[in-house]
Amino acid sequence: MVTDTLSELGVTFLGSRLKRLGDRLQTDAAAVLQAIDAPVQPGQQPFLATLRREGPRTVGAIAQHLRMSQPTATRAVQALIDQGLVEVSREGRDQRQKMLSLTPAGEALMDRLERELWPRVEAAAISLCGGRHRELMAAIAAVEAELDRRSLADRILAPDLIVRDFSDDLAEPFYRINAEWIEEMFTLEANDIDLLSNPRERIVDKGGAILFAETPDLGVVGACAILKAEGGWYELTKMGVLKSARGRKVGEFLLAKAIERARAMGAADSLYLLTNTKCAAAIHLYEKLGFAHDAEVMRLFGSRYARCDVAMRFSPEPGSARTDPPQEG
């Protein structure tokens, strides 16, 4: 008897096992559609069903309803347009927005599928699940909810990360973590040494905060500070991750927690950072989480470090109010 390697590997290859199952079901579904001479593929039916249930929608809205990427939805919808089952119109005030809806042929096909095929598919699926279809669908929904909460990549690359606030016993790791990356790429400047040597006096006691990332196996591996600066500004500074912990997405975890803390402090609207173009990976991360290059911040604070040639400011979400801090005279 030939062994089933995927089955033996168990939950480690859950995605591959589910894909194999999905492929088998899709193959059977395609055979059924061909047998009844329906001019669609199995994967196209959810798009038709969305337009049937929700009415005219943009491709972006359809992608949201089906929880898939917009490029994937765009390709599928275009195939349905080419088949004459979906049509495009421009409605409302914004004539640039393309609305998609079922054509008469699409409506007729949906009438047929809903009346002749889908009830038989449902009965067959219930039989296939041995009557346990509700439990199966609930389990799938629970897995999807967990993925929404935290991706599989984060669970693998950043397992069990926790955030800690500053305490005096963490003064030494704060210095060591930051000295490691600064000395690797630049030179410790007087301002670095002052902040790293006196974190409580220079940062915490003056209304700032210092956060640390800790793992069960390596202990404290990352640090990041929010420094209360002049004129109502706050500086995100001294963010570093030990080389031994790189690849675990500690930096992204720590930056997200720092932004969360800045919001709680009422500092997000005036949060800035200073860095150098050599820190390309860090700059990409800053941009990903909402920082934008800012000439005003460079003018006001860029001279704090000899190595600074990049200044960025955190941008709140679109539509939220942003109150500029008072300008320095």
Question: ∠ CA 125-132-127 to the nearest 5 degrees?
Answer: 30
Pair 260, 115 in one domain: no
Amino acid at 64: Q
Pair 254, 210 in one domain: yes
Inside any domain, residue 321 = no
Residue that finishes a domain, picked among 149, 184, 216: 149
Inside any domain, residue 108 = yes
Pair 164, 310 in one domain: yes
pLDDT in tens, 84-115: 999 999 765 545 578 999 999 999 999 999 99
224 touches 235 (CB < 8 A): no
Domain count, the chain: 2
Pair 99, 242 in one domain: no
Inside any domain, residue 165 = yes
Pair 203, 274 in one domain: yes
Inside any domain, residue 73 = yes
Pair 119, 210 in one domain: no
- With H, G, I as helix, E, B as strand and everything else as coil, classify residue 288: helix
Pair 183, 65 in one domain: no
Q: What is the pLDDT at residue 146?
A: 87
Domain coverage including residue 104: 36-149
Taking each continuous run of H as one helix and of E as one strand, the counts in the chain are 15, 9
Return the CATH number at 251: 3.40.630.30
pLDDT < 70 regions, the chain? 91-96, 158-159, 317-329
pTM for this entry: 0.55
Pair 89, 41 in one domain: yes
Residue that finishes a domain, picked among 92, 119, 149: 149
Inside any domain, residue 214 = yes
If you search the block for the tokens 């675990």, which residue do you land on? Answer: 248
Q: What is the pLDDT at residue 84?
A: 96
- Could you list the beta-strand ranges (E) of 49-112: 86-90, 98-102
Which residues are 165's β-sheet partners? Answer: 211
**Residue 256, token pair as written in the block:** 């997200």
Measured CA to CA, the distance from residue 218 to residue 204 in angstroms comes to: 25
Residue that finishes a domain, picked among 116, 149, 182: 149
Q: What is the pLDDT at residue 251?
A: 94
Inside any domain, residue 254 = yes
Inside any domain, residue 274 = yes
Pair 142, 239 in one domain: no
Q: What is the pLDDT at residue 154?
A: 74
Pair 139, 239 in one domain: no
Pair 46, 166 in one domain: no
Pair 185, 136 in one domain: no
The DSSP letter of residue 204 is I
Measured CA to CA, the distance from residue 61 to residue 91 in angstroms comes to: 15
Inside any domain, residue 8 = no
289 touches 249 (CB < 8 A): no
